Amino acid sequence: MFNLIKHHFLFLFFLNFFIMGVDYARPGTIVAGYYPSWLKAEFPAENINVDNLTHVLHSFVRPESDGSLNYDSGFIYPQLNSFVSAAGKKIMVALGGWGGSDGFPAMAVNSQSRDNFVNNITKFCIEHNYDGIDIDWEHPANAEDRENLVTLVKDIRQAFNESGKDLLITMAVTAGSWNGQWIDYPSLIDYIDWFGCMTYDFHGSWTTHAGHNSPLYSSSKDFCGSVNDGLIYLNLTRKVPKEKILIGIPFYGKEFNASRLYGPSTGGDVTFKYNEIIPLINNGWTYYWDNISMVPYLIKNDSTKLITFDDTLSVRLKCNYALEKEIAGVMIWALGFDVVGSRQLLLETIGQYSLGIFDTLKNVTSYTLQQNYPNPFNGYTTISYNILHETHVKLDIIDLNGRVVSKLVDLFQPPQHYSIRFNANNLPSGIYFFRLTTPIYTKTGKMALIK
């Protein structure tokens, strides 16, 4: 079993080099991130790493049945609009969302309410400096909804055109036919700038077994859907052009009461932000990688719970997939969920692989362990290494008898360059080894302590 896991990691390791060796950045790639209004206090606008985005989707304004707009008291946030616009990026308002879509059917079916809504949302965009709207109607449920959605979108497009403003209309849509059957894609294609395919929540409280939240590919053991299945459905089955499709990338995970992947479960309704999952690894939970679905998962050490999520490696593979398939780009739910210290690890990864933005990771192109400096040394020396994606890292000092005499690092670390100062004042003179160990990379260096 260990060798199998090791081979899987080696495969991914070499795959990383393949990905990094190709310049995939291309004009027009879209990275759209949802910014939930309720994160305003803990994740203010100025903290958004907007360089790694092309569009920010401010969430959510809720349509009412009479066509009026409903939103939280703190939703209006001029600083957000100004910050995004000043960076040369687009800021859009997202409409509806989970729990906020109830007003769509009654509003869209009534011509007076629909006209009221169209006028209200057009004025709202212009007055508050939005670049357009993202329609997140979750979800049309019948033939009447399907017809009324088309009428609504056409009316909005006409109003936007008449406003003299270059306003976008985008839509968040499901990754399959369950709700997708009630969306008339052929009639909408000419009016929608892109369709954001919600390629997540493939498993949850509605499934009786544990499974991945957002697998890139489906396993033969499970047919609940995947990113690849979602793209096939939209592009091949429903004939949506590739250049109008975004795939969704979740910055969150789901917890199941289960002992194994695809095993019987309850739960699935508890979600964790990415930055809440990272501290669990090797702290009562064990990390696993699924080499078929190309996503990680955790199992609690007492085999009672499973968490499915995305990390920098799976996000990297999804960005590469989007570029290989030549689709419009990716969308994120939600910005701020990946903040670890001063870093936005998943967003940085997306920016790097979708937009060709290399910032804090620009010199980290592989796992490396450098020779300590100074060497030989007396008392103190520095050991430097690079981590390519977040993983469990060990850095040990070993004597000539193979004994570990110092554990410098034994924790989960994000991808970046590290320099560790080693104090050897309590050790006798002699030859020592320093060994860096991760699940897919191990290297040992030699150093001399002279007193």
Question: How does pLDDT run along the chain (451 residues), one tens digit per residue?
Answer: 444 444 444 444 444 434 333 333 343 489 999 999 999 999 999 999 999 999 999 999 999 999 999 999 999 999 999 999 999 999 999 999 999 999 999 999 999 999 999 999 999 999 999 999 999 999 999 999 999 999 999 999 999 999 999 999 999 999 999 999 999 999 999 999 999 999 999 999 999 999 999 999 999 999 999 999 999 999 999 999 999 999 999 999 999 999 999 999 998 999 999 999 988 988 899 989 999 999 999 999 999 999 999 998 899 889 989 999 999 999 999 999 999 888 898 998 899 878 776 554 456 778 999 999 999 999 899 899 999 887 889 999 999 999 999 999 887 787 888 888 899 999 999 999 999 999 889 999 999 999 8
Give CA–CA dist 278/338, Å, rounded. 10
Q: Are residues 313 and 394 in the same domain?
A: no
Q: Are residues 261 and 337 in the same domain?
A: yes
Q: Given 326, 354, 382, which residue is the final one in a domain?
A: 354
In a domain, 361, yes or no: no
CA atoms within 13 A on the CB side of 12: 26
Q: Are residues 322 and 383 in the same domain?
A: no
- Residue closest to 33 by CA, chosen among 60, 13, 55: 55
Q: Are residues 381 and 336 in the same domain?
A: no
In angstroms, what CA-CA distances link 273 with 99, 333, 336, 451?
19, 10, 9, 49
User: 413-429 b/e with 16+ CB inside 10 Å = b?
Assistant: bbbbebeeebebeebee
Match 């670390």 to its residue by tokens: 413
In angstroms, what CA-CA distances link 9 with 253, 367, 415?
21, 13, 16
Q: Are residues 137 and 171 in the same domain?
A: yes
In a domain, 362, yes or no: no
In a domain, 429, yes or no: yes
H or E element: which one contains 394? strand 391-398
**Residues 6+ away with beta carbon under 8 Å from 287:** 281, 296, 298, 392, 439
| pLDDT on residue 15 | 45
Q: Given 301, 330, 354, which residue is the final one in a domain?
A: 354
| pLDDT on residue 261 | 97
- 373: tokens are 């400096």
Q: Are residues 151 and 6 in the same domain?
A: yes
| pLDDT on residue 363 | 60
The beta-strand segments (E) located in 182-328 are 194-197, 245-250, 252-257, 266-273, 285-290, 295-300, 306-308
- 369: tokens are 């362990």
Q: Are residues 91 and 207 in the same domain?
A: yes
Q: Are residues 438 and 308 in the same domain?
A: no
In a domain, 359, yes or no: no
Q: Can you give the CATH number for the domain in which 413 is found?
A: 2.60.40.1930
What would the DSSP string read from start to end of 151-218? HHHHHHHHHHHHHTS--EEEEEE-SSHHHHTT--HHHHTTT-SEEEE----SSSTTSSB---SS-SS-
Q: Are residues 402 and 330 in the same domain?
A: no
Q: Are residues 339 and 376 in the same domain?
A: no
Helix, coil or strand: residue 425: coil
Q: Residue 99 sits in which domain range? A: 2-354
In angstroms, what CA-CA distances link 401 with 404, 409, 426?
9, 21, 17
- Residue 233 is classified by DSSP as I
In a domain, 363, yes or no: no
In a domain, 187, yes or no: yes
Give CA–CA dist 31/26, Å, rounded. 12
Backbone phi, psi, residue 296, to 5°: -90, 170
As a whole number of Å, the end-to-end CA separation of the chain is 45
Q: Is 127 exposed, middle or buried (0-12, 13-18, 19+ CB in 10 A)?
A: exposed
- 218: tokens are 């489906």
Q: Can you give the CATH number for the domain in which 295 is found?
A: 3.20.20.80
- Residue 310 is classified by DSSP as -
Q: Are residues 221 and 279 in the same domain?
A: yes
Q: How many domains does the chain have?
A: 2
Q: Given 307, 332, 354, which residue is the final one in a domain?
A: 354
Q: Are residues 58 and 19 in the same domain?
A: yes
Helix, coil or strand: residue 263: coil
Q: Model-level pTM greater than 0.85?
A: no
For the chain, helix (H) and strand (E) counts, in that order, are 11, 23
Match 């803990």 to its residue by tokens: 42
Helix, coil or strand: residue 302: coil
- Residue closest to 222 by CA, chosen among 318, 308, 316: 308
| pLDDT on residue 161 | 97
H or E element: which one contains 132? strand 132-136
Q: How crowded is residue 385: how many other Cβ atoms within 10 Å of its Cβ?
A: 22
- Residue 33 is classified by DSSP as E
Q: 90-96 and 55-63: which strand pairing? A: parallel
CA atoms within 13 A on the CB side of 337: 23
